[in-house]
Structure 1
Amino acid sequence: MQIVIIGGAGTIGSTVAYSLSIMDPELEIFLVDIDQDSAEGHALDLSYSSSHLCHPVGTSTPLVDSNVIKTLPLQSLHDLNPDLLIITASIPRPVNSSSKSSTKGWRLEFLKLNKPLITSIGTYLESMTPIPVIVVTNPLDRITYHLWKSSNWPRKFFVGYSLSEQARMAYYISQLKQVAPSDVYCPVLGEHGDHVVPIFSRAKVQNMPVEFSPQERQTLTEQVRDAAYEVIRLRGTEDSSRWVTGRGVSLLALALLSDDISSPMPLSVPLEGEYGFNDVCLIVPVLFSNRNVTKIVEWDLSKEEKIELQSAYNSVKSDCVL
């Protein structure tokens, strides 16, 4: 199978490529980036890395074949006909993006910077046969919307990666309840940003429903909402929460390609009436079949969760203007 990463020389794109190469040595991975030298450097280094799998340390017996990892000009996508596109392309992050007091401002500035880039990619895709697309570029919900609209592809081909929130929630609940993260389930809907909506009404610990006090809910929500900003504050705006995103995107990509998704997965997708919202992308539970979104699942939400989801819609909708 062939996966193309547009923005493959960037922090997130190269991390996704590395994670994919570790998880599935049989993949062919193609890096597309305006910085062709950097993309070529990553492709070479990733290829060297894959050789470790072919010849494990301490043995002369080959274990598996290594990945094919190459660079690719964007205009050659037509000739390749890949199985999946992953979009991580982005203008450098605004310098004030680690400040939680100005998150709305920097996200709007980020949208202003990234929208022309993404719409140009979408316009190019318009001439191609539609294939599944995972969007990672921020601000995620808004960028997923603009890529979808500019491509004129059916909405079923687009998902915005938004599983980091659920992974972070599992981590923080596991800390609170003193259990393993693998024992925790709590989906997070809404906006990939300030208006995250944890669905505590569906939360489980060790496969049993779990209750949280109002203060615990507030603390958990703030921890998940602010987690990325804390990583950026500690590591700098030139970096990001690359590890949780890189692994999460890779897991999503492989699950999508193998059709190994049996439960609803919270992802940012275009809405056309679901949950009462139209012409916007929000994180909602979706089901897949044949590598496409086949159903948006409308859960019964608590009154508070409905109000919070409406707030997320209000935040994103104002920026979904073509």
Structure 2
Amino acid sequence: MKISIIGGGGLVGSCAAYALQCGGVVREICLIDVNANLAAGHALDLMHGTPSVADQLCTSGGYEQIPDSDIICITAGLRRKPEESRLDLINRNTDLFVGILDEIKKVGMKKSAIVLVVSNPVDILTFVAAKRLGLPATQVIGLGTQLDTIRFCSLIADALGTAPTQTKALILGEHGDSMIPVWSSATVGSLPLEKYPGWNSVLADKIFTRTKGSGAECLSKKGGAGFAVGIAIRDVVDAIALDQNRILPVSTVQDGACYGIDQVAISVPTVVGRTGALQRIELDLWPKELQGLKASAAAIKPTLDTVLKRIG
């Protein structure tokens, strides 16, 4: 399987490439970037490590690499400024993103190819990608709240001193300010989180607040997130490449079948396999969580409508 990462010269794209190399699942990783020399340098660096990791091709190039790619991962975008919300990015990133989509349309892509959108604001741009490329919702997946979810689990585990891999919880909704924590199904080693020793509502609020601000925290401390984003991207790519039918909180264009949410891209539990987003799962949510999820979709809609009018 071949994945082309558009924006592969940047922090997120290069971290994704390294995570995918270490995973050893995909056969070819191609980096595409406006800074072709930087992409070539990253590809060379990755290639040097292949003898100790996996029999992979690590290359770079331009849009001529797209037609034979099985997954097209778009990470390119302008970096979020301190104190700037992800939705604010739409005014600066839409033109860049649409230009990328038009280049993809120009060179063509496999009928079975999956487009994985990572660029922010991811929910808006996931909807734009599906519309602009004329693809069914199954073939366009936004990274959505998969990143927020693993951040969330890591912070819960850190606070309780539990094993991160046994700590399970979800963030749904917008990858942004209106995201919602799903405490109702959170567990540690299959034990409901609310029954775990030391758990309380004060700690819950503190963890969620830090989860929501994690992107800004990384931005202020190191200039932007990279490693965990790369891992989150690998989670989605592996689910596709290995046809895992894995349930992930990724963003797709909704059609009203799940929680009654329609005509907006947002993260709900989604079965991801070789052909993309196979099915959406409507988990039982507490009334407050369901209300929050619907409010999150409503928060995205006005900006999406404005963007769609602007790009035609």
TM-score by length of 2: 0.89
Provide closer, same or farther for how the CA distance between residues 289 and 228 of structure 1 changes in structure 2, counting only shifts above 3 A. Answer: closer
Partner of 1:129: 110
Residues 21-73 of structure 1: CA deviation (Å, up to 9, x unaligned): 121176211111111111111111111122444xxxxxxxxxx53x2111121
Amino acid at match of 1:45: D
Partner of residue 236, structure 2: 252
- Aligned with 1:225 (options 169, 191, 212): 212
Alignment of 1:57-206 (within 5 A): 65=55, 67-78=56-67, 81-91=68-78, 93-94=79-80, 97-99=81-83, 103-104=84-85, 107-126=86-105, 127-130=108-111, 131-161=113-143, 162-206=145-189
- SS of equivalent to 2:66: helix
How far did residue 133 of structure 1 move? 1.6
How far, CA to CA, are the matches of 1:74 and 1:163 in structure 2? Answer: 27
Instruction: Map Cα deviations across residues 243-281 of structure 1 (whole Å, 9 max, x no partner).
Output: 10112212321221111234x211111101122221111
Q: What is the root-mean-square deviation of aligned Cα atoms in Å?
A: 1.8
Could you give the per-residue CA deviations for residues 78-135 of structure 1, whole angstroms, max 9, x where no partner exists? Answer: 3xx11111110112x14xx322xxx44xx34421121112222223434433411211
How much has 1:298 moved relative to structure 2?
Answer: 1.2
8 Å CA contact retained: 1:156, 1:293: yes
Which shows bigger deviation, 223-232 or 43-52? 43-52
Query: Which amino acid is 2:95 matched to?
Result: P
Equivalent position amino acid for 2:127 in 1: Y
Deviation at 1:225, TM superposition (A): 0.2
What is the CA-CA distance between 1:77 and the residue it aligns to? 2.0
Please say if residues 124 and 151 of structure 1, whose CA atoms lie closer than 8 Å, have aligned partners that are also in contact: no
Counterpart AA for 1:168: R
Match of 1:41 in 2: 41
Where 1:187 maps in the other structure, the secondary structure is strand
Q: Which secondary structure does the structure 2 equivalent of 1:319 belong to?
A: helix
- Structure 1: how far apart are the matches of 2:2 and 2:254? 28
Q: Which residue of 2 aligns with 1:58?
A: none
Report which of the two structures shows the higher radius of gyration computed on alpha carbons.
1
How far off is 1:74 after superposition?
1.0
Unaligned runs of at least 5 residues, structure 1: 54-63
State the SS of the aligned residue for 1:266.
Answer: strand
Q: Residues 73 and 227 from structure 1, CA distance in 2 versus in 1: closer, same or farther, beyond 3 angstroms?
A: same
CA contact (8 A) 1:25 1:50 kept: no
Distance in 1, Cα, partners of 2:158 & 2:26: 37
* Contact 1:163–1:248 (Cα < 8 Å) also in 2: yes
Could you list the structure 1 runs, at least 4 aligned residues long, displaced by more than 4 angstroms after superposition: none
- Give aligned pairs, total: 297
Matching residue of 2:266: 282
Give the gaps of 5 or more residues in structure 2: none
Task: Give the secondary structure class of the aligned counterpart of 1:260.
Answer: coil
Aligned-residue sequence identity (percent) comes to 27
- Given the superposition, is the C-alpha separation of residues 21 and 150 from structure 1 closer, same or farther in structure 2, using an over 3 Å criterion? same
Tell me: CA distance 1:251–1:294, structure 2 relative to 1, closer, same or farther (3 Å). closer
Q: Output the TM-score relative to the length of structure 1.
A: 0.86
Q: Distance in 1 between matches of 2:154 and 2:13?
A: 24
Q: Which amino acid aligns with 2:292?
A: E
Matched, 1:209 2:192: yes
